[in-house]
Chain A
Amino acid sequence: MNIKETKMEKATVLMIEGRLDSSTSGVLEKKFLAITEAGEKNFVVDFASMDYISSAGLRVLLMAAKKTKKVGGKVVLSALSANVKEVFDIAGFTSIFTISASKEEAIQSI
């Protein structure tokens, strides 16, 4: 799994490539912690190249959402595939997260 980080004016964009599961979610978690520690509070997590997410990945996202909310920021997710969106629906995450069709839209919405 690879994470491509792009720092933009309104938010930090993280593009996930590959699977976000129990073996790889730790990497994402560390990244979040590092960036929020550095003071960033707005994130766009782009799933265009992410083909799989398990509950481990969901957990990391939830944790990120909680953290950023505390400091007045937000996490917006973009380009979810149909399968991934379904997982979010089942988990009830679609009400918690803002979900956009593309990362450009996501950046706009922040």
Chain B
Amino acid sequence: MKNIDSILELFINLVKNMSVVIVLAYVLTRTQAYSAIMQKKEITLNQRLGLILIFGIFSIYGTVSGINIMGAIANVRDLGPAIAGLIGGPLVGIGAGLIGGIHRYTLGGITYIPCSISTVIAGLAGGLIYQYRKGEFVSITGAVVFMALMEAFHMGLALVIVKPFSQILPIIQSVSLPMIFTNALGMGIFAFIIHNLMRERETQRTKELIESELTIAREIQMSIVPKIFPAFPGRPEFDLFAILEPAKEVGGDLYDFFLMDDNHLCFTVGDVSGKGVPASLFMAVTKTLIKAKADIRLGPDEILYQVNNELCEDNESGMFVTEFLGILTISTGDIVFSNGGHNIPYLLRKNGELEVLAKIPGMALGVVEDYPYVCADVQIREGDSLIMFTDGITEAMNQDGELFSEERLENALRGLEGRNARDEVNHILQSTRQFVNGANQSDDITILVIQYLGKKEMEYRLKNELKEIQALTAAIELFAETHKIPDQTVFHMNLSLDELLTNTISYGFPEGGEHEILVRIALQGETLVIETYDDGQIFNPLEKADPDTGLDIEERPIGGLGIHLVRKMMDEIEYRRESNQNILVMKKQIR
């Protein structure tokens, strides 16, 4: 009975002590001092003193809560200083050890000397391990082994120092196992809690790292694609709009467009195979390569050929990119294009008919060197739109797992008539969003639309005879009808040209002879630009002063009215003399 009782008592004490250890460990790890230690920052003197105090008191607690076994007290006194040393270094360990050791010393008893000494040594030893580990907390196994060895040493010390040997031996024999076991266990629990905390912090840091990586990837991607619209305000021959909506995990979509020269627009849409920062970097490289290789002397197939070879070189990542590339000849509406495995674009004709571009063969870029890309061409006319996209659209999924698919995209496109490029893009995006209805976006969405508006220009050459002016009027009226220029504007334009040309024809060629006058009219967006060129004598009609239109009949002079009318009907008018020609440039807003 007594044996079981004492074992039970021992056990209960053990549990009590361990509980204190756990609470202590938990509270300790939530303090700032501990955060500082974990982050390897310098701990202040105050923090050091705090630790010494806490573990010193814990050491005393160890003594006080010990169990009396044959006159010796089995306890966890050494645990406090040992831990203090392990986490705070030799000074902290020794400090805590001194507090516990001195207290033990004052209690006296048969083992008071070895016990007090080993308490201090426990602190020192812990501190030395700290030094050895350069402040990194020792492993759980290491801590447990250390503590067990420390207690074994403590027992050994007692055997050596306390006399008579015959008295100390039985005490040590009964106390050592419990002492070693209890202390080692306490240390084990403490170390376990510490390691748990360290792992928690590591996980948090990794999570933050991943999130910042996503942010970086997105920033790379979005900073590279052109986002300013209208992209070419000085080129009313076409209307262009694009969007790129990155998925949560950036998927490496790209688009680009640029003028190769005055008459050629190069445009491209692509999709990199991977995700995250690697994909966005690959996308950046691809986009840059395309722009670097794009040369008016090369066809789109040759451009893709060269870009592909560059991408294949040093492509250890094994990533690849699908790419569609086209070149528009602005003056004619002719598009020549090549494809590297990308989604075939659609062509929405002005009358609402939907066509799909020729399905020419082509592998994604970055897979195999010297791949022979091919090209094809298509003619687009005024009002037609070329619609390019990535599979973020066709593979957009709703909550039921259905894909948006080409079919729904085609339906969405068929409903688009009389819209500009921006409206078309937004309509496609809306349709996709509506379908997806809140489900997660798994891939980047990219749409690029180019609508051809044609060159709204006419040129007319007339002889220097008054009767020619009427024929010009007829040509202007036809031009106006084609481009829906309002009647009043046409009237002003005709009258202005009539006045100016009458002047030129009547007074510009005093020596007579046949001369040619060139009239050029262009519609640039909402502005009409009207130019006249003649090689008559120097004459700047603008130099004539305006007539005073407030005068009475008798006082009104007969002349000067023509130029006055022109000035009032046109928004801007400028004259210059160049290469022996009179050049007049007039501008008028048509709305």
Please give the distance in Å from A42's CB to the nearest CB on chain B.
15
Enumerate chain A residues within 8 angstroms of B554, measured Cβ to Cβ.
Answer: 66, 69
B466 located at the interface, meaning its Cβ lies under 8 Å from any Cβ of chain A in the complex? yes
* Docked pose: A39 CA to B565 CA in angstroms: 33
Please give the distance in Å from A14's CB to the nearest CB on chain B.
19
* Docked pose: A82 CA to B561 CA in angstroms: 19
Which positions 60-103 of chain A face chain B at CB distance < 8 Å? 62-63, 65-66, 69, 82-83, 86-87, 90-92, 95-96
B569 located at the interface, meaning its Cβ lies under 8 Å from any Cβ of chain A in the complex? yes
Which positions 457-487 of chain B face chain A at CB distance < 8 Å? 466-467, 469-470, 487
Q: Are B491 and A83 in contact (CB under 8 A)?
A: yes
Enumerate chain B residues within 8 angstroms of A87, measured Cβ to Cβ.
Answer: 495, 565
Enumerate chain B residues within 8 angstroms of A86, measured Cβ to Cβ.
Answer: 488
Please give the distance in Å from B457's CB to the nearest CB on chain A.
24
Enumerate chain B residues within 8 angstroms of A17, measured Cβ to Cβ.
Answer: none
Please give the distance in Å from B198's CB to the nearest CB on chain A.
86
B422 located at the interface, meaning its Cβ lies under 8 Å from any Cβ of chain A in the complex? no
Q: Are B564 and A91 in contact (CB under 8 A)?
A: yes
Q: Are B499 and A54 in contact (CB under 8 A)?
A: yes
Q: A75: nearest residue on chain B (CB-CB)?
A: B553
* Docked pose: A66 CA to B494 CA in angstroms: 28
Q: Are A96 and B556 in contact (CB under 8 A)?
A: yes
B interface majority secondary structure: helix
Q: Are B553 and A56 in contact (CB under 8 A)?
A: no
Contact of B558 among A21, A59, A90, A95 (CB under 8 A): A59
Given A22-B498, A23-B466, A90-B569, answer yes or no on A54-B558 (Cβ-Cβ < 8 Å).
no
Q: Are B562 and A54 in contact (CB under 8 A)?
A: yes
Q: Are B469 and A55 in contact (CB under 8 A)?
A: no
Contact of A59 among B494, B561, B569 (CB under 8 A): B561
1/0 contact trace for A16-27 toward B, CB 8 Å?
A: 000101110000
B502 located at the interface, meaning its Cβ lies under 8 Å from any Cβ of chain A in the complex? yes
Q: Tally chain B residues at the interface, Cβ within 8 Å.
A: 28
Q: Are A92 and B550 in contact (CB under 8 A)?
A: yes
* Docked pose: A66 CA to B562 CA in angstroms: 19
Enumerate chain B residues within 8 angstroms of A69, measured Cβ to Cβ.
Answer: 553-554
Q: Are B488 and A55 in contact (CB under 8 A)?
A: no
1/0 contact trace for B541-554 toward A, CB 8 Å?
A: 00000010110111
Enumerate chain B residues within 8 angstroms of A96, measured Cβ to Cβ.
Answer: 552-553, 556
A interface majority secondary structure: helix
Given A55-B499, A92-B550, answer yes or no on A21-B469 (Cβ-Cβ < 8 Å).
yes
Enumerate chain B residues within 8 angstroms of A63, measured Cβ to Cβ.
Answer: 558
Q: Are A90 and B564 in contact (CB under 8 A)?
A: yes
* Docked pose: A106 CA to B568 CA in angstroms: 29
Q: B567: nearest residue on chain A (CB-CB)?
A: A90
Q: B490: nearest residue on chain A (CB-CB)?
A: A83
Enumerate chain A residues within 8 angstroms of B502, measured Cβ to Cβ.
Answer: 21-22, 54-56
Enumerate chain A residues within 8 angstroms of B491, measured Cβ to Cβ.
Answer: 52, 83
Q: Are A55 and B562 in contact (CB under 8 A)?
A: yes
Enumerate chain A residues within 8 angstroms of B562, measured Cβ to Cβ.
Answer: 54-56
* Docked pose: A65 CA to B124 CA in angstroms: 124
* Docked pose: A28 CA to B200 CA in angstroms: 102
* Docked pose: A21 CA to B499 CA in angstroms: 9
Please give the distance in Å from B454's CB to the nearest CB on chain A.
28
A58 located at the interface, meaning its Cβ lies under 8 Å from any Cβ of chain B in the complex? yes
Q: A81: nearest residue on chain B (CB-CB)?
A: B491
Enumerate chain A residues within 8 angstroms of B470, measured Cβ to Cβ.
Answer: 19, 23
* Docked pose: A94 CA to B469 CA in angstroms: 27
* Docked pose: A55 CA to B566 CA in angstroms: 10
Enumerate chain A residues within 8 angstroms of B565, measured Cβ to Cβ.
Answer: 54-55, 87, 90-91
Please give the distance in Å from A93's CB to the nearest CB on chain B.
8
Q: A68: nearest residue on chain B (CB-CB)?
A: B553
Contact of A62 among B467, B469, B498, B558 (CB under 8 A): B558
* Docked pose: A90 CA to B506 CA in angstroms: 23
Q: A51: nearest residue on chain B (CB-CB)?
A: B491
Q: Are A62 and B556 in contact (CB under 8 A)?
A: yes
Q: Are A83 and B550 in contact (CB under 8 A)?
A: no
Q: Are B495 and A66 in contact (CB under 8 A)?
A: no
Please give the distance in Å from B243's CB to the nearest CB on chain A.
44
* Docked pose: A4 CA to B550 CA in angstroms: 32
Q: Are A21 and B553 in contact (CB under 8 A)?
A: no
* Docked pose: A36 CA to B560 CA in angstroms: 26
* Docked pose: A109 CA to B488 CA in angstroms: 30
1/0 contact trace for A34-56 toward B, CB 8 Å?
A: 00000000000000000010111
A-B contact pairs, 17 of them (CB 8 A): A21-B469, A21-B498, A23-B466, A52-B494, A54-B495, A54-B562, A55-B561, A62-B553, A62-B558, A63-B558, A66-B553, A83-B487, A90-B564, A90-B565, A91-B561, A92-B549, A96-B556
Closest A-B pairs by Cβ, 4 of them = A92-B549, A55-B562, A55-B561, A90-B568
Binding site for A on B (CB under 8 A): 466-467, 469-470, 487-488, 491, 494-495, 498-499, 502, 506, 547, 549-550, 552-554, 556, 558-559, 561-562, 564-565, 568-569
Q: 5 extra interchain contacts, Cβ-Cβ under 8 A, other than A21-B502, A54-B562, A87-B565?
A: A23-B467, A52-B494, A55-B499, A62-B553, A87-B495
